[in-house]
Structure 1
Amino acid sequence: MSLPRPEYPRPQFVRNEWINLNGEWEFEFDDARTGEREGWHRGAPLSRRITVPFCPQSKLSGIGETGFHDVVWYRKQVDIPAEFRQDKRVLLHFGAVDYDATVWVNGTQAARHSGGHTPFSADITPLLDEHGRADIVVKAVDYHKDMTLPRGKQYWKEHSASIFYTRTTGIWQTVWLEAVPDIHLSHVKMTPDIDTNEIGIRVFVAGEPAGRDVLLHTLVTYQGETVAEETRRIEHEETRFRIGLHDYNDHSEGRWWSPGRPNLYDVRFTLLQAGTETDRVESYFGMRKISIEDGRICLNNRPYPLKMVLDQGYFPDGVLTAPTDDALRQDVELTKAMGFNGARKHQKIEDPRYLYWADRLGLLVWGEMANACAYSEQYVRRMTSEWQEAVERDYNHPSIVAWVPINESWGVPNILVDEFQQQHALAMYHLTRSLDGTRPVISNDGWEHVKSDICTIHDYESRREVLAERYASVESAVGSRPARRWIHVPGFPYEGAPIVVSEYGGISFKKSDWEGWGYSAATNEEDFLERYRAVTEPLIDSPHVQGFCYTQLTDVEQEINGLLTYDRKPKVPLEQIKEINDTFK
C-alpha cells in the first residue's frame, strides 16, 4: 500500500532529514477507559488496524465507525536509522490530534497536548532503546458531548444534521520524525514590510547557544537570484533582525505577492557551529501588506475588493483530512477558477498544506478558529491556548490576511447581554492583535461585534430588491438585523470599519445523490445562476460593501448549497460564476 499523505507536512519550515510515520498503526477503542490501567501505554498489542492520518470515523482510515468512542489508542513500532541518532536529537511531530493527546515512547510519557487542531512535538532521544527502537503509543481523548469544547462543525449527536457534520477523533494530520543537532532552529517568524522593502525576522534557537560560537546564515533568493544575504552571531534563544532586499533595480513592486501575482521569495536559514553547518531549514515568504486605510481594505497599499467563498474543508472519505495533497491544491484551483480571490476557512484551522497552495497559487485566506458552542471558564482556557498556537503556526503564510477567533457568537451565545462574554470577545480581539499587528481581526464574525477591524455581516436574504435597499447606505447596512441579530453589541458602536458581507447566498441545488438543504433552492442551472446574480449583484453594486463571501464552495454531507458537489464536481460551468464575480472591481 502506498504511503498516505507522503508530502512534507510543514511547508513553511522544511528539513531534509525526516521520516513520515503515516500508514498502518495498531488501533483500539477504549470505551471502558481501562487502557491506561491495563498498561496499553507500555506497548501492549492493539487488536485493530487504522490508516493514519485519517480519523476512525472516516472511510479512508479503514474503520469508518461514526458512533461515540471518546477514547482511542494508537501504537506503532519504529526503528530509527543510525544516521538519525548519531550526534542528533530525534523529534516526534504530530500535525493535529483531536482532542487531548498523551504520547508514550517505550513506556515513558513523552508529550501531552490539548487542542484538536494545532501541532505539538517531543524530543524522544532519551527514550529510545540502545538499538534505536521506538514503541510509540498515543492515547487520544475526545469529549463529544462537551459543548464548551472548541470543535468547529463536529456534531455532538450521533448523526449529522443541520449545519453540523461527522466528528473527528484522534490523529488527523501527518505524524513524522526528524533529526536535528543539539543546537537547532525551533521556529522562525517573518514579517514583510513592502514600504521599506525589508523582511523582519525573528529566529528561535533551541539548545542554549550562548557562548557556543553559533552563527546564523540567511540567504534570500527570488527565482534563483540572490537578493539578500547575511551572517549573524547567535547568543540568545531569540534573535531579531531586519534584512533589506536588494532588488530595487528590478522594480521590487512587481515582486509583491497578490492573488494575481503570487510572487514568493525563498529563504534558507543555516546554523553553523565552529564554522561547520549543523542545521538547515528552507522556507519562503511573500512581500505583501494588508491594511485598512481611510475605511478601505487595501492590499499592497491599494483598495482591494474581497471576492471570497466559504470553505468548510471537509472531504467525503477523509472528513477533516484531505485524501491527497492534490485534493487541497484542487480546492484552491477551483476557487480561483470561479473568479474568487479568497476563501474563508470556516470553523477549522486548516491543514498547512492548504495554506501552502494558497500561498503558491495566490488566494487570500481568512484564518478562523474552530469554535465551541457554550461559554465557561474552561472554554476560555481551551480557546485562548489553542488560538495562540494557531496564530503562531500560520503567521508566516502570505495568503492569510485576516484572523477570526469567533464566528456568529459561537461559544458566547449571550454576548448581547452578558458582560463576561462581551469581555471575552474583546479579549480575543486584543489577544490576537497582540500576537500579530499586521492583519485585521474580526472579534465575532457575522453579527454582535464588540470591536472588529472589519464590520462583517451574515445575510441570507434572497430577494434582490431587499439586498439593494439594505446596502444602499452605511447606515442601513449597519442598522440591519439579518437573522434578527444586532450587527454590534449595544455599547460597542460602529466606528467606520469597512463592511464585508462575509456570509450570504447558500443556494441549494441538487446535482448528485446527496439529499440535503440550503437557504434557498434552485431547480436547474439557469435558475441557479439567476439566483446567484440576484444575491451577488446588489453587493457588487453597493458603493459601501468592500467584499463578500458566498456560502459555499462545496456541498458538505447534508448541506447541498455548494457551488460544487461534495466530490468537487461543478454544478454549473465555472466560467459562468467567474463572469459574475469579475464585475466586482
Structure 2
Amino acid sequence: MFRPVTTIATALLLTLSGAPASMATAEPAWQPQEPPLTTPWTDQVGPDNALPEYPRPQLTRERWLNLNGLWDYTGGDNAPEQILVPYPPESALSGVQRHDDRMVYERTFDVPADWSGQRLILHFGAVDQRAEVSVNGRQVAVHEGGYTAFDADITDAVRPGEPQHLTVAVSDGNETAPYPLGKQRNDPGGILYTGASGIWQTVWLEPVDPDHVTGLNITPDLTGFDLTAATSTAGGAQVEVAVRDGDTEVTRTTGPADRPVRVDVPQPHLWTPDDPHLYDLTVRLLGADGAVLDEVGSYTGLRTTGLVNDEQGRPRLALNGKIVFQHGPLDQGFWPDGIYTAPTDEALRFDLDKTKELGFNMVRKHVKVEPARWYYWADRLGLLVWQDMPSLPIDLNIPPEDSPPPSEEMKANYRAEWVDIIDQLRSSPSIVAWVPFNEGWGEFDTAEITDLTRRTDPTRLINPSSGVNCCYSLPDSGAGDIYDDHTYVGPGAPTVTDGRAVVDGEYGGLGLAEEGHLWPGDPSAYEMTDSREQLTRRYGEVSDELARVIEANGLSAAIYTQTTDVENEVNGFLTYDRQVMKPDVASVREHNTAAIEAGS
C-alpha cells in the first residue's frame, strides 16, 4: 500500500526522535555487533559494501544511486547512534542488535549533477511495518506492510545545490500490530523467530524522464508472452519490446503503452528447472514522434503451470503441459547475522545453490517475501517457487478452538498486502503457485481469498491452505487447485477426492544438533538423530516411503522441512550459520532424484 501525501509529520518526528541524530554531539563510531553465530559472509559486510547490487533485476536502468550504508538512527528512548542500512535493528550486522517499536532513520545525500532536469524516484525494497518518509521536512510517502516495495517522486522536495535530508519514521510492534508478519515475534522460541523491524531491503534513488515506465507485467506461455508496460504518460505513447537470446535479437514488437502487447517468440526455448532458459528484454517508451523517452531492461522465461490428469485420471501438477513432480525444501529465509536480510548477494544465492545441489527442483518460500534478487536467482538457477503469504499474528499458546479470528483491520491489511505482493512478484517465471494460508495461522474467508488470488493472477496454481489437515486450519473449503497435507515425520499420504492435486506441503523435520553451530537455547526437531550417518539413513528411509506414496496416491509435490536450521530448530540440511551440510549430499540427491522421477 503506497500513498503520496503532502502534509508534514513534524509532530510525529519530534515525538519519535527529539532532535535529529545528526545533531548529537558525541556520536560513537559504528561497529557491527557480535551475532550468536557467524556465517561465511559476516565479515564481508561493512558501510562501503552493504548490498551494492542493483536491487530490481526485472526493471533495470543504467543510472541509479544506492542509499544503503550508515544512517543516523534513534530507536525508542535510546540515544542517537548509527545503523547500517538495510540490516534490521535486531541484527548484529546493523550495529544495533535490539528491537525498537518506534524508529527514526536519517541521512543526507547529494543528487548527481548530471541528473538535472530529471524526475527523482526514491525506492524502498521493504520497510517493516509502517513507514513515513520525508525529504527536507516535506513528507513524500506513507507505506504500510513490511513485505512490499514502494517509491516516491521526491523531485519537488529536493533543494537544488545542497545536501538533501532524508528521514524515515517507522513503527513496528511485531505481533502486537495488525499486519502480516510471518514468524517474527517479540519473544521468539520454538517455531517462531526473532523479528526484523524497520528498513530491511535496499534503499535507492534513480532519475527518470517525466514520461517513463513505472512497471512491467510479463505473462509468459509456450510461444511467447504478453507484456504490459505501465507508464507515467497521459496516453498515446507506444512501447517497443526487443527480445534477445544471448547476443542475438530474435524478435521486436511495438504496441500501445499501458495495455498488453503480445510478443511471439520464434522457435521458443522453454524454461524448466533442468534448463532455466531466460530471454533478455529491452523495453523502450516511444513518444508520438518516435523519440525514445525511456529505456529499461528486463527478462522472462517461457513456461506455463497448471493441472493435467495422469493415466489413472488423477489430477497432477504440470509444467509446460507435462506432469512434473515438484520436490523441494521449506525455505524460511532467516540469517543469524542479518535476521531477515542476507548478509550479501552471494549469501542470498547460496541457499538456492545448495537446494539445486541436493537434487531438488522447487522451493517453498515460507511465510516471507524475499528481495527481488532472490527471485532473480531462482529464475536463473532453475527452481520452481511456491510463494506463501506471510501469516497474520496468532498466539500458538492458545488451543485452536479458543484462538480468536483476525480483526477486520487485520483482514483489510492482509487483503491489500497480498494483492500488492502478487503484483510485485507476478513477472517471475519461477513462481508457479500462491499459498495464501499456512496451517490456519490467521486464516479467514478462505474461499474468498482464493477467489481474490485468482482474480489478481489467473495464470498460476493456488494452494489455499497449506496444512489444511492440521493445526489451526479452518475446515477444508474445497477451493483452489491443491489439497495440502502436513504430516511429521511422515510423509503424509493424502488421496485424491476431487479435482485438486494432492501434495505433502510439509513433512520430514529430521534433526541433528551440531555442536559449535547452535543458536542459544535448547535445540528441537520433529525427530532427532545423533549423527550425520543416522540422519542420512533416516532421510533415505523417509524418501523411500515418499516414492511409494507418490506412485500409490498420485502425490504431486512434497516439501521437506527444511533448508537450514533456524534459531533453535535444528532440522535443516544446513546448520543455521551455513557452515555445515549435515547429511551426505550424494545420498540425498539420489533419493530426491528418484522421488521426482517417480512422480513425473
Range into which the TM-score falls when normalised by the shorter chain: 0.7 to 0.9
Corresponding residue for residue 381 of structure 2: 361
Corresponding residue for residue 264 of structure 2: 244
| Cα distance in 1 for residues equivalent to 2:150 and 2:465 | 27
Corresponding residue for residue 203 of structure 1: 229
Q: Does 1:215 align with 2:238?
A: yes
- Which segment drifts farther, 93-102 or 145-154? 145-154
Which of 87, 92, 105 in structure 2 is aligned with 1:59? 92
> 2:173 aligns to what SS in structure 1?
coil
- TM-score, normalising length: structure 1: 0.86
Deviation at 1:312, TM superposition (A): 0.5
- Which segment drifts farther, 441-450 or 295-304? 441-450
Which of 434, 439, 445 in structure 2 is aligned with 1:403? 434
Corresponding residue for residue 80 of structure 2: 47
Letter of the 1:287 counterpart: L
Deviation at 1:132, TM superposition (A): 5.4
| Cα distance in 2 for residues equivalent to 1:169 and 1:504 | 30
Deviation digits for residues 356-399 of structure 1, max 9, x if unmatched? 00001101111111111341101111101111111011101111
| Cα distance in 2 for residues equivalent to 1:271 and 1:560 | 51
Which of 13, 17, 20 in structure 1 is aligned with 2:66? 20
**For the Cα contact (< 8 Å) 2:135–2:164, is it kept in 1?**
yes
Corresponding residue for residue 80 of structure 1: 111
Which of 190, 193, 197 in structure 2 is aligned with 1:162? 190
| Cα distance in 2 for residues equivalent to 1:232 and 1:549 | 42
Cα gap change, 1:534 to 1:101, in 2 (>3 Å): same
Corresponding residue for residue 505 of structure 2: 502
| Cα distance in 1 for residues equivalent to 2:262 and 2:144 | 34
Letter of the 1:51 counterpart: L
Corresponding residue for residue 155 of structure 2: 125
Corresponding residue for residue 483 of structure 2: 455
Deviation digits for residues 221-264 of structure 1, max 9, x if unmatched? 11122221023354xxx2222111123xxxx3xx1001100000
Corresponding residue for residue 316 of structure 1: 336
**For the Cα contact (< 8 Å) 2:123–2:204, is it kept in 1?**
yes
| Cα distance in 1 for residues equivalent to 2:131 and 2:242 | 37
| Cα distance in 1 for residues equivalent to 2:306 and 2:163 | 51
**What are the within-5 Å matches in structure 2 for residues 43-442 of structure 1?**
47-66=80-99, 69-84=100-115, 86-131=116-161, 133-146=163-176, 148-157=178-187, 160-194=188-222, 197-210=223-236, 214-234=237-257, 238-247=258-267, 252=268, 255-273=269-287, 274-294=289-309, 295-374=315-394, 375-412=406-443, 421=444, 424-442=445-463
The percent identity for this pair of structures is 37
Give structure 1 regions of 4+ aligned residues with deviation exceeding 4 angstroms: none
> 2:93 aligns to what SS in structure 1?
helix
- Which segment drifts farther, 300-309 or 572-581? 572-581
**For the Cα contact (< 8 Å) 1:55–1:168, is it kept in 2?**
yes
| Cα distance in 2 for residues equivalent to 1:52 and 1:332 | 24
| Cα distance in 1 for residues equivalent to 2:260 and 2:162 | 37
Corresponding residue for residue 528 of structure 2: 521
Deviation at 1:443, TM superposition (A): 1.2
Deviation digits for residues 328-379 of structure 1, max 9, x if unmatched? 1111110010011111011101121111000011011111111113411011
Cα gap change, 1:63 to 1:525, in 2 (>3 Å): same
Deviation at 1:87, TM superposition (A): 2.2
| Cα distance in 2 for residues equivalent to 1:512 and 1:382 | 42
| Cα distance in 1 for residues equivalent to 2:524 and 2:480 | 31
Letter of the 1:199 counterpart: F
| Cα distance in 1 for residues equivalent to 2:357 and 2:335 | 20
**For the Cα contact (< 8 Å) 2:175–2:393, is it kept in 1?**
no
**For the Cα contact (< 8 Å) 2:229–2:239, is it kept in 1?**
no
Cα gap change, 1:540 to 1:53, in 2 (>3 Å): same
- Which segment drifts farther, 370-379 or 89-98? 370-379
| Cα distance in 2 for residues equivalent to 1:523 and 1:256 | 44
| Cα distance in 1 for residues equivalent to 2:335 and 2:256 | 47
- Which segment drifts farther, 536-545 or 271-280? 271-280
Which of 561, 566, 569 in structure 2 is aligned with 1:559? 569
Letter of the 2:585 counterpart: L
Cα gap change, 1:521 to 1:261, in 2 (>3 Å): same
| Cα distance in 2 for residues equivalent to 1:583 and 1:535 | 12
Q: Which residues of structure 2 form unaligned runs of 5+?
A: 1-46, 310-314, 395-405, 469-474
Deviation at 1:148, TM superposition (A): 4.0
Corresponding residue for residue 30 of structure 2: none
| Cα distance in 2 for residues equivalent to 1:232 and 1:561 | 51
Deviation digits for residues 250-292 of structure 1, max 9, x if unmatched? xx3xx10011000001111012333332211100000011110
